[in-house]
Amino acid sequence: MESLINLFNFEFFRNAFLAAFMASITCGIIGTYIVARRIVFISGGITHASFGGIGMGYYFGFNPITGAIIFGILSALGIELFTKRADLREDSAIAMLWSLGMALGVIFIFLTPGYAPNLMSYLFGNILTVSKEDLLFLLFLSVFVIGFFLIFYRMIIFVSFDEEFALTNNAPVRLFNSLLISLVALTIVLNIRVVGIILVMSLLTIPQAIANLFTKRFDVMMGYSIVFAFLGSVTGLAFSYIYDIPSGASIIFTLVVLYGIIKTLFLIFGKANMSAVKIREESLKS
């Protein structure tokens, strides 16, 4: 235990801890929106499309995350725009974008001379190598997401719950859909450094699944999701240190185990409650 606390003497670990904290805030809030609106698949598409931007960053020599931001937001708005024009099947379009992004990324990285350093950290994430710059980006995003959801909470719920009803009330549905899907893209891309492209979707859905066991209210669900995301990432981080395994995978694995444990507890206690009710009913009968 002491050795774990001593870890805070290392700058890389303090950074990792801060990254986990801010990843939990952004993923907790945005993930709740994703789950509530059932746009998990769309978010998966955005995640993988942004790999194209990372490849471009390598090839043209700029920060891969900048490329990922551009690709992520453009594909998010593209999906938002095209799926509203009824002609295209939404899921097929997303799948196309999904693989196009990955293909572009692979091509660009292949064309880049020499070895691509850190490529694995983009695919699987490495919370221990997040830079000051990454943290600053995450901080800005956290503040923005919190502010946006605090100020516009009612409008977000209004537009997301029943889009048609919101439209009949002249609500700015398209504006909010576009803003929110852009925030989804930003959250995904900035958290790629923490858990990686392949794993980031789970940070946006597993804490929410756990939170959903406790509550069915949007605002409460955001809070619980942040708590469980943080719990999962810090515990995962500790496991990754103790057993010397990759941090991203360790975090996700911890979260799934956490879900399993809590779900099981719910099943047992749920059943216990049920049988208690049954016994009471039977005693009433007799």
Partner 1 sequence: MDTLVEIRNLSAGYGQNIVLRDVSLSIQQFDFIGVIGPNGGGKTTLLKALLGLIPPLAGEIVFEESMIGGNAHRIGYLPQINNIDRKFPVTVYDVVRSGLMSRKRLVGRYSSEENERAITLMDEMGIAAIRNKAIGELSGGQIQRALLCRALVNNPKLLILDEPNTYVDNRFERELYEKLKLLNEKLAILLVSHDLGTISTYVKSYACVNSSLHYHSGNEVTDELLKSYECPIQIISHGDIPHTVLHKHLS
Q: Residue numbers of the site for partner 1 (CB under 8 A)? A: 32, 36, 38, 86, 151-152, 154-155, 157-158, 160-162, 164-172, 212, 215-218, 221
**Please, which residues have CB within 8 angstroms of residue 126's CB and are 6 or more apart in sequence?**
120, 193, 196, 246, 247, 248
Q: Minimum distance from CB of 88 to partner 1 (Å)?
A: 14
Beta strands in the chain (DSSP E): none
Q: Minimum distance from CB of 214 to partner 1 (Å)?
A: 11
Q: Minimum distance from CB of 206 to partner 1 (Å)?
A: 16
Nearer to partner 1, 37 or 193 (CB): 37
**Please, which residues have CB within 8 angstroms of residue 37's CB and are 6 or more apart in sequence?**
160
Nearer to partner 1, 71 or 176 (CB): 176
Handedness of CA 132, 133, 137, 143 (dihedral sign): positive
Q: Minimum distance from CB of 248 to partner 1 (Å)?
A: 28
Nearer to partner 1, 147 or 260 (CB): 147
Q: Minimum distance from CB of 97 to partner 1 (Å)?
A: 24
**CA-to-CA distance for 70 and 50, rounded, in angstroms?**
8
Cβ(184)–Cβ(156) below 8 Å:
no
Q: Minimum distance from CB of 168 to partner 1 (Å)?
A: 4
Nearer to partner 1, 36 or 70 (CB): 36
* Residue whose tokens read 């809070």: 223
Instruction: Kindly compute the dihedral angle of the four CA atoms of residues 131, 129, 100, 104, in this order, to the nearest 10 degrees.
Output: 80
| H/E segment holding residue 215 | none
* Residue whose tokens read 């001593």: 6
Nearer to partner 1, 36 or 116 (CB): 36
Q: Minimum distance from CB of 157 to partner 1 (Å)?
A: 6
**Secondary structure of residue 115 in the 3-state scheme:** coil
Nearer to partner 1, 138 or 211 (CB): 211
Q: Chain centroid to CA 253: how far?
A: 15
Q: Minimum distance from CB of 137 to partner 1 (Å)?
A: 26
**Please, which residues have CB within 8 angstroms of residue 171's CB and are 6 or more apart in sequence?**
155, 158, 159
Handedness of CA 258, 39, 101, 182 (dihedral sign): negative
